[in-house]
Structure 1
């Protein structure tokens, strides 16, 4: 069976989108669900704000770096076996987090958890590329993103409820159970989409050659950087918003979770435009326009904040629109980045994922020294990421006949 021979009907596409979306959501759930618990976690473990944020940055780095290995492994051994391994590691890491007595132990277990999560984040994107390319891949990726967006919508709400009722440690128990459920879905609902003949041609040497080829492709690197900028801004928001909302605006975890969920709503709503927009305008033009609108929105919010307007509704609406445009940028960029590399889809997906999470960790680390509990450092960091994407998009996504 070759990639070209794979055929997916509409009902199967929906099934794959649900299964793959839930698997992808495991990693973000481990971020979004514990965000409302960060202040309580810091108090319980006697940690300062920087140390609590380090537990997030350690997770992001582990997910980013681990993807460089998980992608090639999925090319070499198929999509399912590495998923089993990754989800198992994630469950062990989650148990360690739940019983951590110190912030140092928690950070170490978050690294283990992130190394497991990277498999669940890389492999579903490679499965999409196994099944489709072009606008059809964008459509399936967008359907996947709908399910994936359950995380920023429901995970913070669930995290707030669980934290208030059972404490922050219970959050890690919940995400561990979710990972176990995903293992059952992989077993019963997800076929192997990486054919044996393709696996036999994948080795460590071919993985290194794949990464070398990707590093030599400026078009691929440019698109990967665009996606990384969009997600880096979101990770800056993730690292800082619990303290801004709780300390600066004085909202409890449950209300913070509701406000955070609005970003997921706009992300879903905007991402569902991808398939139709791609067919009408091409993915290249769609991503370029979304980058410009993303930047314009966050710059407008930054201007309001700089002028002294410190109103929570303004902040929430501005960020929701900004991350809504990210809902167009991210899935379409993923498709464009892998479009020219079908035989190394796993490596391409891993490389993009590494840039996304490494960029998020770097952006969060750069903003952390300036964090003072007000919205200014957070909004400025997000705006810087959006600004960086603009010249990259103008150069990378200029008219080329070979681009879809």
Structure 2
């Protein structure tokens, strides 16, 4: 852990700005998807493609996020954290503007892929910075604060998207993505500590990269917690990707109603994050994660029967609220667990888990598109399968 003097001696206000900047960086991946979910039907009309095709823009973004992190992590260990972060944010902004201006769907998918590559810098470096500046239970606490900040994204983003999801204004959603990432870029230049000191010889050493990844892969605890993080993330993306079709087409909600619905579910994530800060004072990180995963698994299993018996929408939403709330307990805690398992290789570890998470989500969302059958079953069953795998991994003794 790098005990940077800024992290140790800064004022409370300065520390707040650091946390807010890290929070925006952490949330950029979520903002890049949640913001335009309500606009799927309008975008399908604009690009003259089925709404299922618009889901592919989520899939290619996830693939870009997964692929990019494998390179960004080792690069940040060599060049330092902030230099690749600034380059990535600038590229992200340009891609958001380009996506807003294009009228060709194939080109739009290209921009989304490159945007995912650029956005991967935010994900991997923000996690590595937290472990550079903090560690152990303190890192879990900071990750929880970031999860709470990130929880604001699914509240505001779909709501804004619901209001701007019209034929003449949906492009402004991508302009907002550019503006938000611009604020994060400003934070990188003004308040964000540099974290790990760059290597003296600022060249990528392939053998060192292989060694860093090998050390992580050989660690059973890291692999176990990394799988939990990746699979839980995939369960969340199963819901995120399929929910526009399920709620706007099957349950006939308007774009604004869907935005409010998605925002309401996100409140559970924030609430659980607040609860987690108190639970960490009394229980171990792994114990909290195990119990939350079990609750999530049982909730989604109940959701299968709710859909089968065609229960009212309110009942289904209650189950989904439990599911999303558990994310506020699982994700920050398991992140602290897997980074603590390989403290000497945080950049590589953060890159590997980030890549695993988004690559897993890429395959899951691709499979969802293939299994699409005009029902909610592919979404809910995929969510349940993911939670079962995560629960089994946590039962493994490390």
Distance of 2:363 and 2:96 partners within structure 1 = 24
TM-aligned CA distance change 1:197 to 1:368, over 3 Å: closer
For residues 196-234 of structure 1, the C-alpha deviation after alignment (integer angstroms, 9 at most, x for no partner) is 468869744322211111121221111011111111111
Distance of 1:295 and 1:134 partners within structure 2 = 27
Quote the residue 1:152 is aligned against.
154
Quote the residue 1:90 is aligned against.
92
Quote the residue 1:319 is aligned against.
320
Give 5+ residue unaligned stretches, structure 2: none
Distance of 1:39 and 1:164 partners within structure 2 = 9
RMSD: 2.0
> When the two structures are superposed, what TM-score results if normalisation uses the length of structure 1?
0.93
State which drifts further: 273-282 or 10-19: 10-19
Superposition pairs for residues 220-299 of structure 1, below 5 Å?
Answer: 220-299=222-301
Counterpart pick for 1:15 among 11, 14, 17 = 17
Quote the residue 1:214 is aligned against.
216
State which drifts further: 49-58 or 203-212: 203-212
1:174 aligns with 2:149: no
Quote the residue 1:367 is aligned against.
368
Distance of 2:214 and 2:124 partners within structure 1 = 19
TM-aligned CA distance change 1:203 to 1:7, over 3 Å: farther
Distance of 1:10 and 1:382 partners within structure 2 = 43
Distance of 1:196 and 1:110 partners within structure 2 = 30
Aligned length: 396
1:338 aligns with 2:358: no
Distance of 2:349 and 2:200 partners within structure 1 = 15
For residues 273-315 of structure 1, the C-alpha deviation after alignment (integer angstroms, 9 at most, x for no partner) is 3333233211111111111111111111212222x12421112
SS in 1 for 2:349: helix
Alpha-carbon offset, residue 116 of structure 1: 0.7
Distance of 1:202 and 1:278 partners within structure 2 = 38
SS in 2 for 1:279: coil
Superposition pairs for residues 35-74 of structure 1, below 5 Å?
Answer: 35-74=37-76
Alpha-carbon offset, residue 164 of structure 1: 3.1
> When the two structures are superposed, what TM-score results if normalisation uses the length of structure 2?
0.94
For the 8 Å contact 1:240–1:371, the answer to whether it is kept is no
Quote the residue 1:126 is aligned against.
128
Distance of 2:277 and 2:145 partners within structure 1 = 9
SS in 2 for 1:274: helix
TM-aligned CA distance change 1:4 to 1:340, over 3 Å: farther
TM-aligned CA distance change 1:334 to 1:43, over 3 Å: same
Distance of 1:3 and 1:168 partners within structure 2 = 44
Alpha-carbon offset, residue 146 of structure 1: 1.4
For residues 143-164 of structure 1, the C-alpha deviation after alignment (integer angstroms, 9 at most, x for no partner) is 1111111211111111122223
SS in 1 for 2:165: helix
Alpha-carbon offset, residue 165 of structure 1: 7.8
For the 8 Å contact 2:29–2:119, the answer to whether it is kept is yes
Give 5+ residue unaligned stretches, structure 1: none
For the 8 Å contact 2:4–2:195, the answer to whether it is kept is no
Distance of 2:311 and 2:250 partners within structure 1 = 10
For the 8 Å contact 1:75–1:199, the answer to whether it is kept is no
TM-aligned CA distance change 1:199 to 1:263, over 3 Å: farther
